[in-house]
Structure 1
């Protein structure tokens, strides 16, 4: 939990405090925030009832705009810096008479919730930072799908592409380009070493030293796995059976050739992280220089995918 201590200077004398007295108030919010509407970001606290919120209308963008990815899987925008001015871009600290959880994102404001104090900053800066992680989720960690020839331990630079289809192995859910998913070929692991890890003893049907998930002829019958679709030409040799007990691409006795005409569409999974930082704001009676909202949570758009079909 992030803790921020604010000094609130009493501007009005009361019967219990002399003019100029200072009260130290501890305001503790979590390290995550939520969003609704176009670009409204907020944090709420139930006890005491408080909120921090940022509403951006200039520039006119949406969260979908910020999560836009180009055809190469790169973020179109990874940083958005906006000026807080109290008009088009507002940063507020509010207190309430009851739990404000249902107040935000509700088309009809709930009754019974009153704002006790509403402080608005007329200056400051908000920085929104977007990060994207892509993965093929084929059961092999990304750092294990790169030969690391450049010795930088980063699979995205000079990446290994076993089948040469233009999709690096760490994003390719069919590493050897045989139209059988890598995850499917890993599931064939007999686990002879008993450790439950398919990578320590990967299936190698033809025992040629190349594991099935990297072998374009899994059964070693001279016919490429991709060309062993003898019944259903649907870019999936794993569902073609001459012998009901074993797929043709794993059966060296069956070597009928049906030339493939296309690669199957590849699904690349995407996970977005959105972070928000507020700097140099000025709120009445509150001395606040900056605040870290943490990371966005609770939005389905933070997980997505894109489809890439390699040229055959």
Structure 2
């Protein structure tokens, strides 16, 4: 009785087209966390319910606009909405399938193998006819609570000047990458994660961040950590920089184990350069999937046709996807390099 009542309360239109009566089917899978598979070149997003009714919903998609592998989000384009048409045939490469089984179902075994297992047995199957799938992808690391940290540097988005409304994000070093995405917020070539935490006995800000020179600016935002008048990034050996190591922590003159950039008595530039760390990070994505204006047709020959105006199938969340970031200076160098390559190609052609 509970299932029948739930079916009657579904917010979208759900009806049988042949006689106008409500079809009693749970479809208790809306707004689900989806799991991806790839079979025969198709992306398969599925969810199962093993309570009361053994049921599944699976969305099969074959579209060149989707990412090649299931380890990525369906699309990394967070600007546009992706719309895919569902076919009207049962063997369509794009279709939604609802099934009821006679026992508990293991979704990984059933949807992620070329040949489904013989058990459990399918009791009822409905396949979509027509309709559209709308995929809207966004970043899933842009919350404002203490656990949301888009660049993984240990400082939450909210403390790094993330502006969820106006896009006026804080960029302390003015390098073109906002702090909430910048692994080196002060452009001193020491990653934020390596200069934010104060050990017991070390000077710290009121918020608990390391502040070597006690000037009130935490080291991870201070381009001159020891206040000796020399930028931290310039307290590094020329030979180290030329060898590809631009980390100021590598330059230690005395035997005390402290790098030059933390010794305020050393006030001369070691080597001046404009090289910057690789700022690329990984990010988390969330794809929301809504299916609209479609029918589900029962596959027993009865012609039962259930109509949906809209069905929020759920979401696919994928974490740790590579995300390239370039500072303004790095972009300038890249543009100059590409321009030189084009000029050289033009010269060799002539």
Q: TM-score of the superposition, structure 2-length normalised?
A: 0.70
Q: Equivalent residue for 1:239?
A: 250
Paired with 1:191 and 1:25, the residues of 2 have a C-alpha distance of 65
Q: Equivalent residue for 1:16?
A: none
Correspondent of 1:123 among 98, 113, 130: 130
Cα displacement string for residues 266-312 of structure 1 (whole angstroms, at most 9, x for unaligned residues)? 13331100111122322244644232222125xxx543122334326
Q: Equivalent residue for 2:224?
A: 217
Q: Equivalent residue for 1:15?
A: none
Q: Give the 3-state SS of the residue equivalent to 1:144 in structure 2.
A: helix
Residues 78 and 138, structure 2, Cα contact 8 Å, conserved in 1: no
Residues 65 and 75, structure 2, Cα contact 8 Å, conserved in 1: no
Paired with 2:296 and 2:126, the residues of 1 have a C-alpha distance of 6
Give the alignment of 1:6-85 within 5 angstroms: 24-29=24-29, 31-37=32-38, 38-47=42-51, 48-57=53-62, 59-64=63-68, 67=74, 69=76, 75=77, 78-85=80-87
Q: Give the 3-state SS of the residue equivalent to 2:209 in structure 1.
A: coil
Residues 186 and 202, structure 1, Cα contact 8 Å, conserved in 2: yes
Cα displacement string for residues 239-268 of structure 1 (whole angstroms, at most 9, x for unaligned residues)? 332233322211113345122351110133
Segments of structure 2 that go 5 or more residues without pairing to the other structure are 9-13, 142-149, 298-303, 331-350
Superposition deviation, residue 49 in structure 1: 2.3
Q: Equivalent residue for 1:251?
A: 263
| 2:223 matches 1:208 | no
Q: Equivalent residue for 2:198?
A: 188
Superposition deviation, residue 155 in structure 1: 7.6
Larger helix proportion of the pair: 2
Q: TM-score of the superposition, structure 1-length normalised?
A: 0.77
Paired with 2:65 and 2:193, the residues of 1 have a C-alpha distance of 38
Paired with 1:177 and 1:303, the residues of 2 have a C-alpha distance of 24
Paired with 1:249 and 1:241, the residues of 2 have a C-alpha distance of 9
Residues 143 and 155, structure 1, Cα contact 8 Å, conserved in 2: no
Superposition deviation, residue 218 in structure 1: 0.9
Q: Equivalent residue for 1:162?
A: 172
Cα displacement string for residues 33-92 of structure 1 (whole angstroms, at most 9, x for unaligned residues)? 1222233222212243211122223x43334486555xxxxx266422223233332122
| 2:317 matches 1:293 | no
Residues 227 and 258, structure 1, Cα contact 8 Å, conserved in 2: yes
Paired with 1:116 and 1:178, the residues of 2 have a C-alpha distance of 64
Residues 74 and 287, structure 2, Cα contact 8 Å, conserved in 1: no
Provide runs of 4+ in structure 1 moved above 6 Å.
6-9, 19-23
Q: Equivalent residue for 1:141?
A: 156
Q: Equivalent residue for 1:265?
A: 278
Closer/same/farther in 2, CA of residues 41 and 205 from structure 1, 3 Å limit: same
Cα RMSD after superposing both structures: 3.4
Closer/same/farther in 2, CA of residues 139 and 66 from structure 1, 3 Å limit: closer
Closer/same/farther in 2, CA of residues 139 and 156 from structure 1, 3 Å limit: farther
Segments of structure 1 that go 5 or more residues without pairing to the other structure are 12-18, 70-74
Residues 235 and 271, structure 2, Cα contact 8 Å, conserved in 1: yes
Closer/same/farther in 2, CA of residues 92 and 155 from structure 1, 3 Å limit: closer
Paired with 1:136 and 1:20, the residues of 2 have a C-alpha distance of 54
Superposition deviation, residue 23 in structure 1: 6.6
Q: How many residues align?
A: 286
Superposition deviation, residue 116 in structure 1: 2.2
